[in-house]
Every structure is written in structure tokens, then in C-alpha cells.
Structure 1
Amino acid sequence: MTAGPLTDPPPVPSPLSAARYCLAESRPVVQVVFLMRFLVGAVCVTSGTDNWSGPGVVLGGVAMTCAVTAAYLLNGVMDIAEDRVNGSRRPIARGALPVRVAVGVVGLLSGVALLLSAFVPGEFWLVALTLFLGYAYSVRPLAAKRRTATSAVAVITTGLSSYLAGAVSAAGEIPIGALVFCGLLALWMGFVGAVTKDLGDIAGDRAGGRRTIAVVYSERTARLFAAVSAVVLGTAGLLLGLCAELVLLAGALPLALGAGWVAARCLQPDANQARGPYRAFMVTQYAANAGLAAGLLAGG
């Protein structure tokens, strides 16, 4: 059942409950994959060498995690109406986490992220960019989430920033082959993730006045776009591994297999599994990033 309007302000939860609700609202499964991207960036520059900054990776990882968590919390605050139409049971939408508490935590996490990143040479501006993109994605007048194209740009840039932040925190530069593959994984987020995520939110997006592919054209068009994008990127990953660096195949193979899975879920829709393509996208992200990291470590 969709939550209705709140007639009274929700009670302020205890600090422990508020922390738990904030964690749930920020979608732990997404936070973990962002941390994976950061660590992949670090592995790209540290594999095969002992010349890297351990403290920088720790501080940088915490800073980027705080920034991404703040961005997703802010998104939850700004998406209350749409989330309720979509029947979301996340804490803000159901009234368990008051907006004023969530906004306070967003400010706190943003400050911590900027402070910690200032101690990691080269990372401050990447963290600041991540925070700006989180704001630009959710808040008017920019509200990049309102259109698939602008949403994809924000998502792709944020993903690439995570990889680069991992690299600079380890005090190195990503090799060109690995950098291109990380770019492919960032494109995977924008062209496949941003579109498949909308498939389960069409009613709320339409009610909120968004202009996504699924709303402006049709769900079928959005599914076809995501399927084609997945296959193109999966194929590109294989070609990159075969033509540039074989070690990249450790990430390219799961990406290609996942691309086929996503395409199949998109082209054979199940009315009861609108989020099926997005789940396939997420699993593929985990597998491709983990495979890339394992391949780089083994190759180094």
C-alpha cells in the first residue's frame, strides 16, 4: 500500500535508529558498489608496485563514501512524492526518517567528506564534484533526474570520479587501458543503469513530471535502448581486453555475460518483475568490478 500524506511530523528517532534509517535510505547495495569503484581505481595504480599511499586510500575511501551517502540521502529527501506513488518502503518515504534529520545528516556528511578529502592530494575536487552532482541530480533548478540524458551524464561523471578518486588517493595514475575500461563501466551506469532503474518507477516519474525515455516514449522503447546499450558496451569491453590488455578480460567477461542477461530481461518483460533488468545490471556491476580488481591484482 502506498503511504499517504503525513498529518503530523514524525517523531525524531534515536541517534542509533536515525543512523540505521540513513544507511537504509542511502541504499547500501549502491554504496558498496561505489566503494568497489574507488578500490578498483586504487588497485589500478598499485598493482605490481609497493609505492602507494595506504593512509590516503583509507581517508579517501571514507571521504568518497560520505559524499555518495550524502548524495543518496538528498535524493531520498527530494523524491518523497514520487517514492510514495511508486510504493517505496524506504525510511523517508514511509515517514520513519524525518526530512529535517535527513537534511542535517546530509550537511554533516558533506562537511566530513570535504574535510577528509582535503588531506588527500588531488581528491578534494573529485569529492566536491561528487557532492555538486548529487545536488544537481536531485534539486531544482537543475534536477538532472528529470530527463534520462541529463541523469545519465550525472551518473557517468560520478562513477568516473569514484575510479579517479581511488587512483589519486593511492598517489598514482590509472594506466590507459584500465582507465578506458573504467570509463566503459561508468558508461554502463549511465546508459544501462539509469534507464533500467526507471522501468520500475514509471508511475512516480510520470506523476512527478519527469521526462525519462519510458515516460516520453514508452516502456518498450526504454527496454530496447537499455538492451542495445548493454550489448554494445559488453562487446566493447571484450574487444578492449582482446586488443589492448588481456588482464582486462577478467572484468570484460562478466560484463559481456551480464550484458546478455540484461538484454534478455529487457526484451522479455515480466509484468511482475519490472525491476528485473535493474537487478541484472547491479549484479553485473559487482561482477565486472570485482573481476577487474582480481585480474589486476593477479596480473601485478
Structure 2
Amino acid sequence: MTVTPHHGPSAAAPPATALPGRVLTVARHCVAEARPVVQLVFLTRFALGALCATAAGGGRPAARDVLVGAVALYGAVLATYLLNGVMDIAEDRVNGSRRPVARGDLPARTAARVVAGSAVVSLLLAASVPGLVGLVALLLVLGWAYSMPPFTAKRKTSSGAVVVTAAGLVAYLAGAVAAHGSMATGPLVLCGVLALWMGAVGAVSKDLSDVPGDTAAGRATFAVVRGERAARHFVAVAAPVLGAAGLAVGLLGDPVVLAGAVPLAAGAGAVVWRCLRPRPDHPRAPYRAFMVTQYAANAGLAAGLVAAGWV
């Protein structure tokens, strides 16, 4: 007996879960491509900015604006780092990156559409929070300038560091604006030091493991132009200088700042150790020490503000 295949609509139709499943897969890949550890630290800066903000706004409740502002900032950061992944495909593959765009799991065209959508949504959300849309727009412009021509700030460590430092400051200020307040001098200065920590330590140490890809892409980063050894020595000097600057802010100005400055100084020591004693099997060790220090310093300052009764 011959069985005739059924070619009706139900046979050709995809499973009902196919589209939602694809959307979730794309979303997961986009979040992974945009580096969750970086997304979280930007949200941490935003939250600390809101926490540091002094009371303002005539008693208007700020909880809704802080939450919406955080989502807006997240959208801008997602767009920024996803765009960076799209523009870095060639060098990421040379460097052996396992992020979704480089390994082909997330098509560049799809990622670019998510970049555009995230940017638009972040601006729309920011527009609903008084004073925030300009800062979110600035963060998006900085992200564009970092990865895209004609600026392509990532090509040189100096220009990339300027953009990264500015982006860190914007995140802190965005939190304060969303909370309808202003930051006291001591915490504001330490946040400035932490932003410089991103530019002088993070931007240089990040490139230590990316020399092959950066060279292939024609970038003139510190590690490419001066060599990895010189880049390590630069970071080994910059880290303790900034650690000492943070301690000075606390000792000579606002003692509550020491809660964040002490972890920063301790982390600076860890960065120096990783730079001066490199391990070929852990080329990103200085950058990881930099990142852990960021989290510790921000969390320390937040805990200090709470313990001092500021919040």
C-alpha cells in the first residue's frame, strides 16, 4: 500500500514556538556579544550616581525615573557594545574571540538591526525622565565615535581612552540626574578617578591580549606601537597613581570616600602584580584585575554612603 504524503498547510507550517525561540536566541546572543560584565558595571555606575545624588526635585519621588533611566542606559550600552562587536568581526576572529558575532552565531545584519532598535528605545525612555535624554544621547554618540568612521577612536589607545573615560562619567551623572539630585564633591571626585581608571588602566590592559588582531586591523594601540612590555609597564604605573589619588580624596577631603578608595588602591596593587608577572596562559589577567577592582571600588563607596547615613 502506498502512503501519499500530506502537503497541507499544517505540514508546511513551522512549530508555534519557532519564532519566539528564534527571538530568544537572538536576544541571548546580543546580550552575550555586548559583554554582560561590562553592561553590569555600567548599571553599577548609574546606580552609584543615583545613590550619591543629594536630595533635590522638591520631594518628587524618583524611584520610577531611576528605574526607567537604568533601562534607558542599559539600552544605550547594549547598542554601543553590540555595534563594537559588529565592527570588530575580523580582528575578533584573529584574536580567537568566542563571542557570537565572531563565531557566526549572530549575523552582523541582525545585530545591526538590534543596535538601531536599542538606540531608539533608549532615547525614547530617556526622554520620559527630565534631563536624561541628553546624557543618553551623548553615551550613544560616544559609542558611535569609538567604533565607527570617521572617528574610530578605538584605533588609538589615546583616543579610545578619552571616549571610555567620558562614557564612565556620563553613566555616573546619568544616575544622579535620574534621581533628581546632584553629587557631593567627594563622591563626585572619586567617580572621576574611577572614570580615569577605565581610560588609563582598562583601555590599555584590554589591548594586551588583542595585539595580533589589532595589528591585522591596522590599529595603532599602545601595545601595538610600543610593544606589550611597554604597555604593561604603563598600566603598572597608572594603576597605583590612580589608587593613590583615590586615597588622597578620602584623606584630604571626604572620609566616606575611603570606603571606595581603599578597594581601588588594593586593586591597583593586584593590577601591578599581574602586569609585572605576566603569564602566557592568562593574557587577560591584568584586565580581569582591573574589572574586579572597578566593582569593588563602586560597591565599597555605595556601602560607605549607606553606613554613613547618607542614604
Which interval holds the TM-score relative to the shorter structure? Answer: over 0.9
**Counterpart check, 1:134 vs 2:140:** no
3-state secondary structure, aligned to 1:89? coil
8 A Cα contact 2:197 2:242, kept in partner: yes
Structure 1: distance between partners of 2:66 and 2:56: 17
8 A Cα contact 1:63 1:117, kept in partner: yes
Alignment of 1:46-57 (within 5 A): 46=54, 51=59, 53-57=62-66
8 A Cα contact 2:55 2:181, kept in partner: no
8 A Cα contact 2:56 2:181, kept in partner: no
Match of 2:161 in 1: 152
Match of 2:192 in 1: 183
Match of 1:81 in 2: 90
8 A Cα contact 1:197 1:275, kept in partner: yes
Q: CA deviation digits over 1:99-134, x for unaligned, max 9?
A: 111001001100011001011111111100100111
- Larger Cα Rg: Structure 1 or Structure 2? 2
The letter for the 1-side match of 2:282 is: Q
Match of 1:122 in 2: 131
Structure 2: distance between partners of 1:158 and 1:31: 12
Structure 2: distance between partners of 1:120 and 1:109: 17
Report how far residue 298 of structure 1 moved: 1.5
**Counterpart check, 1:103 vs 2:135:** no
**Counterpart check, 1:294 vs 2:303:** yes
Alignment of 1:214-253 (within 5 A): 214-253=223-262
Structure 1: distance between partners of 2:33 and 2:203: 18
Structure 1: distance between partners of 2:173 and 2:242: 20
Q: Which runs of 5+ in 2 are unaligned?
A: 1-18
Structure 2: distance between partners of 1:187 and 1:294: 21
3-state secondary structure, aligned to 1:133? helix
The letter for the 1-side match of 2:302 is: A
Structure 2: distance between partners of 1:18 and 1:164: 31
8 A Cα contact 1:42 1:167, kept in partner: yes
Q: CA deviation digits over 1:146-166, x for unaligned, max 9?
A: 000000000000000000000
Report how far residue 272 of structure 1 moved: 1.2
The letter for the 2-side match of 1:227 is: A
Structure 2: distance between partners of 1:92 and 1:189: 25
8 A Cα contact 1:47 1:297, kept in partner: no
| TM-score when normalising by structure 2 | 0.91
The letter for the 1-side match of 2:294 is: Q
Q: CA deviation digits over 1:163-198, x for unaligned, max 9?
A: 000000000011111111100000000000000000
8 A Cα contact 2:153 2:163, kept in partner: yes
Structure 1: distance between partners of 2:262 and 2:301: 10
Q: Which runs of 5+ in 1 are unaligned?
A: 1-11
Q: Pick from 186, 200, 203: which aligns with 1:194? A: 203
Question: Quick one: percent identity of the two aligned structures?
Answer: 60
8 A Cα contact 1:47 1:296, kept in partner: no
Structure 1: distance between partners of 2:259 and 2:55: 14
Q: CA deviation digits over 1:212-254, x for unaligned, max 9?
A: 1110011011001111000000011011111111110110000
Report how far residue 29 of structure 1 moved: 0.6
8 A Cα contact 1:118 1:124, kept in partner: yes
3-state secondary structure, aligned to 1:209? coil
Q: Pick from 39, 44, 53: which aligns with 2:52? A: 44
The letter for the 2-side match of 1:125 is: G
